[in-house]
């Protein structure tokens, strides 16, 4: 869903530099009215606590979509659509050298096991990610999250389950140039809190992932420097059967003091604060 959202909104961004050694935060301050004025089918998350978003799954006849944006991002999308601006610039400037990291913590368990193959377009999808402006004018979407009802076996598409998803999309204003996605199956015995780390190496132009303390290594290469970035979180709930009443949450973690996973030596948060 982030990839679809990117095709609609990867046309925007606005710039501000976070001072080093200060709290490294991102302001998801768009109101419900702001979000619906741009995307009528999206609602603001029912519970927003800083950079953490929660909702309770309910039985739905139709899909329900939640989103978290900044006001600045909403404004720039509208300005771009109206021809007021022509280029994108992220709200967070990214250092041209070194490695930067952020994390996403998901509360998605315990989950009930599937009893039969799901119908298409049903279940829960939660994704948070960073959209970055590259030096050549194209864009990089780096996302991670959780999805139910996924085909989790590359050799047997009849095996379905729940999964942590990591993905990268390289896009331009004319469409998607390249797309990478990998699923990691989880079940009712997995950790209740799933933590995903993303680290971006500007020196080697590579993107790596860490899942619950396990370094998955560099999974994606890009060709141009990441100059700036903004964050978006989206979720979908559709025609649930198994997980009605369960509470789900996702938190975007950007400050070095709250980043828990291990990264290569010298890695900083997106504001330049060293991760110890």
Interacting residues of 120 by C-beta distance below 8 A, sequence separation 6+: none
In 3D space, the residue among 99, 90, 129, 25 whose CA is nearest the CA of residue 268 turns out to be 99
Which domains are seen in the chain, by residue range? 2-111+122-258 (2.60.120)
pLDDT of 153 > 70? The answer is: no
* Residues 6+ positions from 62 with CB-CB distance below 8 Å: 238, 239
Mean pLDDT of 262-271: 97
DSSP letters of 167-179?
EEEEEETTEEEEE
* Nearest alpha-carbon partner for 224 in 200, 248, 208: 200
**32 closest CA partner among 79, 69, 64:** 69
Q: What pLDDT, in 10s, does the model give residues 170-204?
A: 998 778 899 999 999 887 668 889 999 999 999 99
Instruction: Dump pLDDT digits (tens) for 78-100.
Output: 887 888 887 778 899 999 999 99
Q: Can you say how many angstroms the Cα of residue 114 is from the centroid of all Cα atoms in its chain?
A: 25
| pLDDT (tens digit per residue) in 92-141 | 999 999 999 999 999 987 666 554 545 555 678 899 999 899 999 888 99
User: Cα dihedral sign for 222, 227, 231, 236?
Assistant: negative
Q: Which of 210, 274, 240 is nearest to 24 (CA)?
A: 274
Q: Where are the beta strands (DSSP E) in the chain?
A: 42-44, 47-49, 52-56, 64-68, 92-93, 99-107, 123-134, 139-151, 160-172, 175-186, 193-201, 206-211, 214-221, 226-238, 247-253
Q: Token pair for residue 217?
A: 């290594």
Give pLDDT, residue 123.
76
> What is the structure's pLDDT at 17?
43
Pairing of strands 52-56, 214-221: unpaired
What pLDDT digit, counting tens, does each position of 238-261 carry?
766 556 677 899 999 999 999 999
pTM for this prediction: 0.85
Phi, psi values for residue 36, rounded to 5°: -70, -25
Nearest-5° angle of CA 111, CA 115, CA 119?
A: 95
- Residue ranges of alpha helices (H) inside 39-131 are 71-81
């Amino acid at each position: 869903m982030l990839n679809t959202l990117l095709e609609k909104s990867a046309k925007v961004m606005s710039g501000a530099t976070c001072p080093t050694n200060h709290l490294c935060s991102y302001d998801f301050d768009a109101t419900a009215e702001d979000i619906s004025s741009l995307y009528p089918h999206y609602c603001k998350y029912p519970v927003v606590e800083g950079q953490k978003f929660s909702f309770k799954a309910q039985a739905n006849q139709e899909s329900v979509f939640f989103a978290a944006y900044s006001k600045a991002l909403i404004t720039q999308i509208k300005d771009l659509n109206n021809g007021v601006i022509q280029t994108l610039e992220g709200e967070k400037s990214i250092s041209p050298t070194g490695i930067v990291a952020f994390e996403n913590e998901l509360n998605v368990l315990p989950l009930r096991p599937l009893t039969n193959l799901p119908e298409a377009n049903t279940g829960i999808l939660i994704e948070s990610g960073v959209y970055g402006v590259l030096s050549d004018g194209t864009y990089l979407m780096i996302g991670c999250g959780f999805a139910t009802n996924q085909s989790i076996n590359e050799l047997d598409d009849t095996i379905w389950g729940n999964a942590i998803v990591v993905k990268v999309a390289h896009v331009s204003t004319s469409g998607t140039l390249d797309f990478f996605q990998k699923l990691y199956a989880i079940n009712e015995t997995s950790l209740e809190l799933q933590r995903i780390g993303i680290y971006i190496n500007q020196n080697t132009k590579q993107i790596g992932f860490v899942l619950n303390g396990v370094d998955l290594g560099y999974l994606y290469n890009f060709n141009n420097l990441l100059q700036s970035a903004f964050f978006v979180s989206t979720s979908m709930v559709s025609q649930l059967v198994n997980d009605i009443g369960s509470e789900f949450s996702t938190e975007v973690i950007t400050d070095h003091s709250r980043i828990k996973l291990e990264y290569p030596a010298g890695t900083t948060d997106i504001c330049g604060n060293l991760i110890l």
